[in-house]
Structure 1
Amino acid sequence: MFKKTSTLCMILLLGASLAACGGNNKANNAAAPAGNATTPTTEAKTETGYAPKELKVQFVPSQNAETLEAKTKPLEKLLGDQLNIPVHVTVSPDYNTIVEALSSKQVDVGFLPPNAYVLAHDLRQSADLLLQAQRFGVKDETGEPTEEKVDFYKAMIIVKKDSDIKSIKDLKGKKIGWQDVTSSAGYVFPAAEMKKAGIDPDTDVQGITIKGHDAAIMALLNGQVDAVAIFQDARNTVKKDVPDVFEQTRAIHFTTPIPNDTISVRSDMSQEWREKISQAFIAITEDPEGAQIVKDIYTHVGYEVGDDSNFTPVREYAEAVGQKIK
């Protein structure tokens, strides 16, 4: 049984130890932090910050990592062509690993969701906001995308169509599938809103960690859990394999809007290279080929210059579930 309180304590303890030793979660050969753990990122120090001679980029996929490994190569080439330096894009097993990799300077650029960005920026002071992603909006009723690019999304809690769970208050005593506790859509925002409704996500439900929103949906369909917290509308990620997924499930709750994911850079990156990297990502999404690659990897359809004040609600929700960010 997943015990959220224990997990949060472990993360807080890890946060302290990571600052000293640079480790976090388990990784394997297919999903390891970028760069060798004993070799710092190749870089040239300047008076105004670090200028990478090769750029190391890392992200956590919202779906099966194995299906995305091959898609990172085209992104490496596109970024390399824009920046005129070698680029290495790798997949991380979780966001805490990216935060630590940025802190230990093993990674230069991280795709960080809102809560992981706040953790890296506020608590670890190891990353700065560069860009905020844009996605197409999603219709609550159908899960279909709109034609409007937006800088926010929602989390949702879904159950099977024939479930007796009608609202989040009915989750008491049920099994719910969470993502990592730093996942904004997969834990923080749904858990905070459960607390507002009088349901303690630590003690009133049996939480089970599931890696990947697509895997969470499959766990729900297979009867392993009674409900899952996912980003809106992650059901589209399994529609190819389960065409009637929308008919088999229904949403019982949508959260308040969540700021879209960030592209964050290590905090000592030079201003010159911050601008180069920003321009490179924006240029890639303005090209049809590049836009499709980025969309396939991370469902982003564009980027805009980030504003840290957009993440104030994220800080408030993190505190609501007991996460230390300062």
Structure 2
Amino acid sequence: MKFFKKVAAASVLLLSAVLLTACGGKSSNGSGDYTPKKLTVQFVPSSNANTMEAKAKPLAGLLSKQLGIPVNVSVSTDYNTIVEAMGSKKVDVGFLPPDAYVLAHKQYNAKVLLQALRYNRTEPDDKTGKKLVNYYRAQILVHKGSGIKNLKQLKGKKIAVQDTTSTAGWVYPAVEMLKHGVNINKDNIKTVQVKGHDQGVLSVYNKNTDAAFVFQGARTLVTKDAPDVMKEVVPIYTTGKIPNDTITVRGDMSKKWQKKIADAFKKIVKTKKGHEIMSSVYSHEGYVNAKDSDFNSIRKYDKIAEELNK
């Protein structure tokens, strides 16, 4: 999997914006006066999409009650699809991981409203801490019996990854490997794209791949199916801090509705039912206001990632 795929995806999104304008539609860089009559909310799959959608669907009723309009909740097929859907105004609100947000902002002027809070993770065994933080980390997992102990030993191996816009499932692990002298595109490494970090964990557990890029804590997603996963699948590397996921709206959303939507999510996550939904879907424990500059570190990593094809 080459980095040019990410560039190509961005080009497709930019072309879509041009076509929208040419056809007489407003781009998402419009006047900022969009008032939704029905709100469309979409998640990106961090685990099995069907299971995730079943968990997320009840959010529609809670949001509808807060906002006073119908709400539709769905799960996208991947990161690029939801960004494009927001750019073409088919999706109003997206639960975007940080790298996808940066792309959506660049291409369509998408507006970040909130950043998720999660409990910190500690090792061993992805234990949940007691501190709420607005960041997380990515890990590179291997099978305990593989003999792989460090990044250098990943040369010539097979790695399960997410889409190239996935911060934890591609960008941060690939960039930090590069910093340690291992180029995922030039060191005879084969990448296998899987959908969902749980599938990345299972690919290592079942020895279908030698390693996987996942967010720290992903092993907990499969403990029911693989009770011994903590013993059999272990991290050999943990990245630096990554800004947490976002709740982002399309670029022409009115400021009044931006505030209404942000306030609604803050209230919902504090209710018993709302917290249960957000915690089960994304491990979100709360939300804080966010601004675009909070994601400048992502932009720095993206720039470094361009070196992967040099």
Q: Same fold (TM over 0.5)?
A: yes
Task: Check the 8 A contact 1:132/1:303 in 2, yes or no.
Answer: yes
Is the aligned partner of 1:232 residue 2:232? no
Q: Secondary structure at the match of 1:177?
A: strand
Q: Which residue in the other structure is 2:127 paired with?
A: 144
Distance 1:111 1:73 in 2: 14
Task: Check the 8 A contact 2:159/2:191 in 1, yes or no.
Answer: yes
Cα RMSD (Å): 1.8
Identity across the alignment (%): 46
Q: Which residue in the other structure is 1:159 paired with?
A: 142
CA shift at 1:199, angstroms?
A: 0.7
CA shift at 1:98, angstroms?
A: 1.1
Q: Which residue in the other structure is 1:88 paired with?
A: 72
| TM-score when normalising by structure 1 | 0.87
User: Structure 1 21/299 Cα, relative in aligned 2: closer, same or farther at 3 Å?
Assistant: farther
Is the aligned partner of 1:252 residue 2:236? yes
Q: Which residue in the other structure is 2:167 paired with?
A: 184
Q: How does 1:32-181 map to 2 (within 5 A)?
A: 49-121=33-105, 123-181=106-164
Larger helix fraction of residues:
2
The gaps in structure 1 that reach 5 residues or longer are 23-39, 41-45
Is the aligned partner of 1:7 residue 2:16? no
- Amino acid of the residue matched to residue 272 of structure 1? K
- Farther-moved stretch of structure 1 (302-311 vs 9-18): 9-18
Q: Secondary structure at the match of 1:322?
A: helix
CA shift at 1:266, angstroms?
A: 0.8
Match of 2:291 among 302, 307, 312: 307
User: Structure 1 10/307 Cα, relative in aligned 2: closer, same or farther at 3 Å?
Assistant: closer
Distance 2:13 2:155 in 1: 30
- Amino acid of the residue matched to residue 183 of structure 2? D
CA shift at 1:21, angstroms?
A: 5.1
Match of 1:318 among 293, 302, 305: 302
User: Structure 1 48/308 Cα, relative in aligned 2: closer, same or farther at 3 Å?
Assistant: closer
User: Structure 1 224/101 Cα, relative in aligned 2: closer, same or farther at 3 Å?
Assistant: same
Distance 2:278 2:118 in 1: 11
Q: Which residue in the other structure is 1:199 paired with?
A: 182
User: Structure 1 231/149 Cα, relative in aligned 2: closer, same or farther at 3 Å?
Assistant: same
Distance 2:167 2:238 in 1: 13
Distance 1:302 1:251 in 2: 27
Distance 1:4 1:47 in 2: 37
Task: Check the 8 A contact 2:16/2:88 in 1, yes or no.
Answer: no
User: Structure 1 271/242 Cα, relative in aligned 2: closer, same or farther at 3 Å?
Assistant: same
Task: Check the 8 A contact 2:270/2:286 in 1, yes or no.
Answer: yes
Structure 1 residues 251-275: Cα deviation after superposition (integer angstroms, max 9, x where no partner)? 1000000000000011111111111
Task: Check the 8 A contact 1:136/1:301 in 2, yes or no.
Answer: yes
- Amino acid of the residue matched to residue 10 of structure 1? A
Structure 1 residues 206-264: Cα deviation after superposition (integer angstroms, max 9, x where no partner)? 11111111111111112111000000010000011111100001110000000000000
Match of 2:16 among 9, 15, 18: 18
User: Structure 1 8/84 Cα, relative in aligned 2: closer, same or farther at 3 Å?
Assistant: closer
Q: Secondary structure at the match of 1:219?
A: helix
Structure 1 residues 31-88: Cα deviation after superposition (integer angstroms, max 9, x where no partner)? xxxxxxxxx9xxxxx9861111111101112110111222233100000000011000
Task: Check the 8 A contact 2:96/2:247 in 1, yes or no.
Answer: yes
Match of 1:287 among 256, 265, 271: 271
| TM-score when normalising by structure 2 | 0.92
- Amino acid of the residue matched to residue 4 of structure 1? K
